[in-house]
Structure 1
Amino acid sequence: MTAIQKFLSPRYRLLSHMTFWLVYMVYATLLYGTIHDDYWQGFMEVIITLPVKMTAVYFTLYYLIPRFLYARKYPGLILMFMASAILFGYADRLMMHTFYVPIYLKDYDYQKYPLMDLAKAVQRSSVVYLVVFAASAIKLVKQNYQTERFSQELGKEKLNAELKFLKGQIHPHFLFNTLNTLYALTLQNSPKSSEVVLKLSHLLDYMLYDCNVELIPLRKEIQQMQNLIELEQFRYGNRLEVSFSVTGDVSIQQVPPLLMLPFVENAFKHGVSKEVEEAFISIDLTLKDQQLILRVENSKAEDDSQPEAEYTKGIGLKNVSRRLDLLYDNQYDLQVFDEEETFMIVLKVPLSETEKPVVNQAPVQTSQV
């Protein structure tokens, strides 16, 4: 927290008020002392009139501003301001007449400048309200700062809540597909069931524990992409060819969790799921110039007449697109190519290098699943 933030913080209210009045007293003493060529006399004028100025300041800060300005009761504010300004002008003049004039202005002409002289009261009011205006300006700046800070914190909390909600909606896609696969294999008494359970447990562990952070190592996301591909391969068997290649060093890069998995899942769900013959999915992940480039391409069934919107309408892709908007604002690029026989997405996002390099990690190789 900076010095200005501390000064404006409610926790330091007493200190900030004391600092304000101390600064005012020093400034006014130097000013009046220079005018009178006597700094002690200047100091006494400040001390004598200080109670009136303090009363005017706190009356304005804690009554006029909250009751009228914040409530937007502008006619009442104007009337109360004018009445209080004249009142405090007379009060300041009374203090000067009672305590200052008898000591420092012994030749003062009371008949020429009577106590109830309105012009003199207005003159003294202008002196009082220079301090009031300065204090009010600080009050309004402080209020604006607190409002803006509260708005930012509220916006951040709303953003985090929406991100968690969107990320949470992605999870059922994995569970639905993998549980269906497991169910089919158990009906067949397939020995591959145990392998599916193991890979499913890795996915669940990833989603329930690893994903509860803002960023996750890219290599973990890649591992889960490979798990998902292998699980889906159990469903499609030999009629599906999947290639997955990674180019670049993934040991120190980080990405938001579940950022790329929905694109892969979408290729299976909306792409090859309707294919009755051989189908393909090609996934290329490239790290270049502090940028991640993901290209996912899948074949389409010959009788598949679904428009591009049908491919992008799924909950997973809608959510990941919304997450991209929230996480990267306009710093990402997502392109969709809907061709006659293929469907492809190309995603480009900036990378984060906040993880320590992993020692002796085997590089990810191009694989055919």
Structure 2
Amino acid sequence: MTAIQIFLSPRYRLLSHVLFWAVYMVYATLLYGSTRDDYWRGFVEVISTLPVKITAVYFTLYYLIPRFLYARKYPGLILIFIISVILFGYADRFLMHKIYVPIYLKDYNYEKFPMTDLAKAIQRSSIVYLVVFAASAIKLIKKNYQTERFSQELGKEKLDAELKFLKGQIHPHFLFNTLNTLYALTLQNSPKSSEVVLKLSHLLDYMLYDCNVELIPLRKEVQQMQNLIELEQFRYGNRLEVSFSVTGDVSVQQIPPLLMLPFVENAFKHGVSKEVEEAFISIDLTLKDQQLILRVENSKAEGDTKPEAEYTKGIGLRNVSRRLDLLYADSYDLQVFDEEDTFMIVLKIPISAKGNLVSEANPVQQSLV
């Protein structure tokens, strides 16, 4: 935390006030003392009227500004400000006459400059309100700083809550589709059912426990992609050809959980489930130049003319697209290629050499990644 942040933070309010008055007293003493080459006299002049300046400052900070400026009661603000200027001017002049004048101006002409002299009171008030304006400026800057910081924290909490909500929706989505696979195998009395149950348990363990953090090792996501592929292969058998390749070291990098699995699941859902003859799915994951590139391509059933939106409107893909927007803003790239016989997505997200995903778009989003 910088010195400015400490000064503006409400946690250090007392310290900031003490520091403000200490700086004022040192500055004013040096200023008045240098003009007369007598710094003790300058100190006496400062200290003799300090109570008026303190009262004027806190009257403005804690009464005028909150009650009238923030409430936009400008006529009342102007009226009370004018009255206070005159009153504090007379108060400052009164203390000067009672403390400073008897010590340093013993031959002062009270008849020529009486206590009731309005011009002299306004002159003294101008000195008082230099301090008031300085303190008010600091208060308004502090208020703006706190408002901006609160807005940022609120935005971060909102993003975090939405990310958790979207991630929570993905869990039952994967479970639903995997149970459908198991149901189909049990209807066939397939001996592979036990293997499906085992892999399903691994997938549930991943979703229920490993995914309760902001970042997971990339290798775990890759393992569950392979797990999902094997689950689907149990269902489709020999009529499905799947290729899955990984280029680059996935043992160090980290990514948000369940970020790539929906794309793989979508390929099976739309590219294979309605195929009568042999179908194919090709999945390539590449780490290169601090970037993760995922390419998922699947065949389309003959005569399938559904538009691109039909392939991308499922719960899983809608959620993962929204999560990408929240986590990366404009620093990711998702392309969809809808050809006559094939459907392909290409996802590119930044990834640092140290293993943490980065987003240059927004500092609030970066703190969530």
TM tier, smaller:
over 0.9
User: 1:322 Cα deviation (Å)?
Assistant: 1.0
Cα separation, 1, equivalents of 2:15 and 2:174: 57
Structure 2 partner of 1:260: 260
Does the alignment pair 1:110 with 2:110?
Answer: yes
Tell me which amino acid in the other structure corresponds to 2:109: D
Written as runs of structure 1 = structure 2, the 5 A alignment for 1:238-277 is: 238-277=238-277
Structure 2 partner of 1:364: none
8 A Cα contact 1:254 1:352, kept in partner: no
Structure 2 partner of 1:142: 142
Structure 2 partner of 1:95: 95
- More displaced stretch, 131-140 vs 69-78: 69-78
Structure 1 partner of 2:170: 170
User: 1:270 Cα deviation (Å)?
Assistant: 2.0
Superposed CA deviations along residues 56-114 of structure 1, whole A, max 9, x for unmatched, are 00000100111111112222212211111111111101111122112211121112211
Structure 1 partner of 2:80: 80
8 A Cα contact 1:210 1:216, kept in partner: yes
Tell me which amino acid in the other structure corresponds to 1:256: P
User: 1:188 Cα deviation (Å)?
Assistant: 2.7
Tell me which amino acid in the other structure corresponds to 1:16: S
Structure 1 partner of 2:298: 298
* Secondary structure at the counterpart of residue 246 of structure 1: strand
Tell me which amino acid in the other structure corresponds to 1:183: Y
Structure 2 partner of 1:332: 332
User: 1:353 Cα deviation (Å)?
Assistant: 4.3
Written as runs of structure 1 = structure 2, the 5 A alignment for 1:1-369 is: 1-354=1-354
User: 1:186 Cα deviation (Å)?
Assistant: 2.2
User: 1:189 Cα deviation (Å)?
Assistant: 2.6
User: 1:5 Cα deviation (Å)?
Assistant: 2.0
* Secondary structure at the counterpart of residue 335 of structure 2: strand
8 A Cα contact 1:92 1:125, kept in partner: yes
Cα separation, 2, equivalents of 1:70 and 1:201: 59
- More displaced stretch, 337-346 vs 5-14: 5-14
User: 1:6 Cα deviation (Å)?
Assistant: 2.0
* Secondary structure at the counterpart of residue 235 of structure 1: helix
Cα separation, 2, equivalents of 1:58 and 1:152: 29
8 A Cα contact 1:68 1:74, kept in partner: yes
Tell me which amino acid in the other structure corresponds to 2:131: V
8 A Cα contact 1:333 1:348, kept in partner: yes
8 A Cα contact 1:247 1:287, kept in partner: yes
Paired residues, number: 356
Cα separation, 1, equivalents of 2:81 and 2:269: 70
Cα separation, 1, equivalents of 2:180 and 2:312: 22
Tell me which amino acid in the other structure corresponds to 1:193: S
After the TM superposition, list the runs of 4 or more consecutive aligned residues in structure 1 that deviate by more than 4 angstroms: 353-356
* Secondary structure at the counterpart of residue 276 of structure 2: coil
Unpaired runs of at least 5, structure 1: 357-369
8 A Cα contact 1:182 1:196, kept in partner: yes
Cα separation, 2, equivalents of 1:75 and 1:311: 62
Tell me which amino acid in the other structure corresponds to 1:324: L
Superposed CA deviations along residues 129-186 of structure 1, whole A, max 9, x for unmatched, are 1111111111111111111111111111111111111111112221111111112222
* Secondary structure at the counterpart of residue 110 of structure 2: coil
Tell me which amino acid in the other structure corresponds to 2:115: L
Structure 1 partner of 2:361: none
Cα separation, 2, equivalents of 1:270 and 1:163: 26
Superposed CA deviations along residues 184-223 of structure 1, whole A, max 9, x for unmatched, are 2223332211111111111111111111222211111100
Unpaired runs of at least 5, structure 2: 357-369
- More displaced stretch, 184-193 vs 113-122: 184-193
* Secondary structure at the counterpart of residue 202 of structure 1: helix
* Secondary structure at the counterpart of residue 286 of structure 1: strand
Cα separation, 1, equivalents of 2:17 and 2:97: 28
8 A Cα contact 1:254 1:353, kept in partner: no
Cα separation, 2, equivalents of 1:135 and 1:44: 22
